[in-house]
A and B are shown apart, each in its own frame.
Chain A
Amino acid sequence: MKKLVKPALLSDPELMRARQRPLEHRHRKDRFFKRLCQGVSSISALVLVVLLVAILLQGIRTLNTQFLGGVADPDPTIAGLFPALMGSVWLLVITMVVALPLGVSAAIILEEFQPRRPVLRRVHDFIQLNITNLSGVPSVVFGILGLTVFVSMFGLFGNEQNPSYEVGATYVDQFYNEGDFIIEVPIADSQQEEVVPKEGLAAFTHDGEPILVHLLGDDEDWPEDLALAKRSLRSWDLPGRIKERDWWYFRLPFGRGILTGALTLMLVILPIIIISSQEALRAVPSSLRQASLGLGATPWQTVRYVTLPAAFPGILTGAIIAMSRAIGEAAPLLMIAGIVFITNAPGNLMDDFTAMPLQIYNWAGRPQKEFHDLAASGIIVLLSALLTFNAVAVILRQKLQKPLS
């Protein structure tokens, strides 16, 4: 039998007595509590303001187009953030493209298609519990996971230098002849034997002009004629093989490239996306679902046309919050990419990269003050990106939110 719940006021003699105290006393207590709350919240706001002002003051002077467009350099006056900025953009785009569909579908399965059979129910609960736990796991742990799963893929596919599968790479054997000219011979695939210099071998100069190789005799003098020198090789000249990667270059294993970084970040933010999407779906009134089902719609149609659109603003907000988490993460990326001196923006999914948090960490760790200023400028850029994301989240929520019941 259900126990009868008495109103708290009547059952508690303490409260009864308190009620009889003079009104003034209780109001004083009320005011005190209000002040306390105001104080505590203003402290946290103050800390934030101090932080922002300090960073702004330190970093605003070095924040200019030179900084945004420049690349890493030992000279702090010309060092810039560009490769890191582009690295972060790549990371973010890939992370979202992978994490959003996965996260939202997982949330839909867990929330809208809950199994009825006891065994499956238990599986469902187990998965749910794990996702909740994963959202609390420190991100560096995901970094280690990414290192074993994505970088080396358990060693199943060879290593980065000799991947067992790759597409989008063209190989060129480059000769450097005695006259300091580069002669290039395109190669069909990485397995092909090294090119041996031959008379009449079809090749290209460094700027793509087609030539036929002229093989000089071992004792022959180097030709005076530049046009001939451009295409001359000795029999003992050995080529070096370079790999040109197109923008769609892809390989297994992934190695320490930007895709690995993005997938690792995906692991970090996936639980956040799933949980926030679940919350959003749960917030859709069940009357909407029931009406849809009552009209004869299948559960899938209900999700597709009723629940998901209604939950969309909430899901979007969660996704953007997850994005701002991803853009600021340094620890897992540190495990994957490490601290590197890198001067080019990534050009494909497998390129080595650096990201804004890593570059800031690098600069902040250096002893010279000029680099600390650069780190502060980097933080301003990072914070502006973060605040922009959050602002977009707020605006989207307000624009898209419709009354649901």
Chain B
Amino acid sequence: MKISLQNFVAALGAAALLLGLAPDASAQASALRGNIVVDGSSTVYPITEAAAAAFRKEFPKVNVTVAVSGTGGGFKRFVVGETDISDASRPIKPKEFKQAKQNGVEFIELPVALDGLSVVLNPNNTWVKQLTIDNLKAIYLEGGKARKWSDLNPEWPDATIKVYSPGTDSGTFDYFKEVVAGKTGSFRPDMSTSEDDNVLVTGVSGDKYAIGYFGASYYFENKDKIRAAAIVNPKTGKAEMPTPENVISGAYAPLSRPLFIYVNTKSLRRPAMRKFVEFYLANAAKFATKVQYVSTSDKIAALAKDFLKKRRTGTVFVTAENHEGGPVYHKREAPLDAAYHPQNLLGTK
């Protein structure tokens, strides 16, 4: 009996030692508290939602709320410091950058995934095999020639094309518009628009003559309801599908694009926020592929972690030009791989 008591005391001591040393991290995890407010793109939403849901399981006292008001809508709140993180399916615009600067908001730009923006059709649409950017111009632009499918190809049905598009607050809209319409063109006003990509999926899946576009995640999630059109790469002349392989290799151009989160540097000082963003980046590839996006290249992922760790603030997609009346900001026209480098950073300080 005596021995067992000794054993017991020893075991107790060992347990106490363990409790004192090892579980600090987990005790801290359950004690970590705070609120994190995220708003922005519906394209990035699935990744952030996955991150927030997984984060909650490890840090139950941290409340992460994720709203969806489109990239533009999200930036409107982000540049005045209302949100901690902004989901964005396009880089920040010079105008938004300027507002952030005026409000003293500093941020870190972090690419989290790649997306092959998918042009989708109803599965009963058997005639379209591939589309060119010119076809998309004819369909989507104001004054474009194609209002019926037969306008594109006389063999196609003589039926009006029902056009769906994300709304103007959406980064997907901005990106698609830039590719298809360029800087000057404008889209036809009679499209059916929604900021909610699920609404577009429902719309296109219910109409044989419909066409729409959105992030690849929503296409892969709904492969049974809609099909994607192959898009002809203007450089190679080959029609490509928005598959992960084509997005990584760059063959699915020009509709491949990076997805970002923008993180307010001041918010990042909060332990809960820091943990969340670190957690997000560490698992970005996992979350991205889970919701059917493509993870960024290893080089970009490493750079993003470096940007976060060293607090490299600013954006690589805006350049400043000094004028008498103050700097004038322009958009940097470069793909992510070429642009994303500390040298190109323009800060808001």
Contact = CB atoms under 8 A, between A and B. Distances in A.
Interface of A: 71-75, 159-161, 174-176, 180-182, 206-207, 226, 238-244, 338-344, 352, 365-368
Nearest to B287: A74
A341 B28 contact: no
B225 A367 contact: yes
12 contacts: A74-B53, A180-B28, A182-B271, A242-B270, A242-B272, A339-B68, A341-B45, A343-B53, A365-B202, A366-B198, A367-B202, A367-B205
B139 to A, nearest CB: 23
B46 A240 contact: no
A265 B24 CA distance: 46
Contacts of A342: 63, 65-66
A240 B53 contact: no
A122 B75 CA distance: 50
A340 B50 contact: no
B63 A367 contact: no
Given A240-B269, A244-B33, 5 more contacts: A341-B52, A342-B66, A343-B63, A365-B198, A367-B205
A13 B329 CA distance: 88
A343 B49 contact: no
Contact of A176 (B52, B56, B271): B271
A368 B221 contact: yes
A179 to B, nearest CB: 10
Given A239-B269, A368-B221, A352 B21 contact: no
A340 B269 CA distance: 24
Contact of A340 (B67, B267, B291): B67
Contacts of A182: 28, 31-32, 271
A92 B205 CA distance: 37
Contacts of A244: 33
A75 B53 contact: yes
Contacts of B274: 176, 240
Contacts of A71: 56
A86 to B, nearest CB: 13
B153 interface: no
A159 B53 CA distance: 28
Interface residues of B, number: 49
Given A161-B82, A352-B65, A367-B225, A341 B31 contact: no
B199 interface: yes
Contacts, number: 101
A299 B196 CA distance: 57
B25 A180 contact: yes
The list of the 9 closest CB pairs from A to B, nearest first, reads: A240-B270, A240-B269, A341-B66, A176-B271, A206-B31, A340-B67, A365-B198, A367-B222, A242-B34
A181 B28 contact: yes
Interface in B208-232: 218, 221-222, 225
Interface of B: 21, 24-25, 27-28, 31-35, 37, 45-46, 48-50, 52-53, 56, 63-69, 80-82, 196, 198-199, 201-202, 205, 218, 221-222, 225, 266-274, 291
Nearest to A162: B81
B68 A74 contact: no
Contacts of B37: 352
B273 A240 contact: yes
A340 B32 contact: no
Contacts of A365: 196, 198-199, 202
Given A176-B274, A366-B198, A206 B68 contact: no
A343 B52 contact: yes
Contacts of A174: 34, 269-271
Given A176-B271, A176-B274, A339 B67 contact: yes
Contacts of B48: 341
B72 to A, nearest CB: 15
A161 B81 contact: yes
B28 A343 contact: no
B52 to A, nearest CB: 6
A242 B33 contact: yes
B80 A240 contact: no
Given A343-B52, A365-B198, A367-B222, A240 B267 contact: yes
A174 to B, nearest CB: 5
A238 B269 contact: yes
B28 A241 contact: no
A208 B243 CA distance: 51
A343 B53 CA distance: 8
A170 to B, nearest CB: 12
A360 B48 CA distance: 21
A161 B105 CA distance: 13
Contacts of A160: 82
A69 B81 CA distance: 33
Contact of B50 (A74, A238, A352): A74
Contact of B31 (A175, A207, A339, A368): A207
B206 to A, nearest CB: 12
A367 B45 CA distance: 15
A207 B27 contact: yes
A303 B335 CA distance: 76
Given A174-B270, A176-B271, A74 B32 contact: no
Contacts of B225: 367
B113 to A, nearest CB: 15
A340 B37 CA distance: 10
Contacts of B33: 242, 244
Nearest to B202: A367
A238 B49 CA distance: 29
A335 to B, nearest CB: 12
A117 B303 CA distance: 79
B312 to A, nearest CB: 16
B19 to A, nearest CB: 12
Given A242-B33, A367-B201, A338 B67 contact: yes
Contacts of B291: 74
Contact of A367 (B49, B69, B198, B268): B198
B64 A343 contact: yes
Contacts of B63: 342-344
A176 B198 CA distance: 40
A159 B80 contact: yes
Contacts of A226: 21, 24
Contact of B32 (A175, A206, A239, A344): A206
Nearest to B25: A180
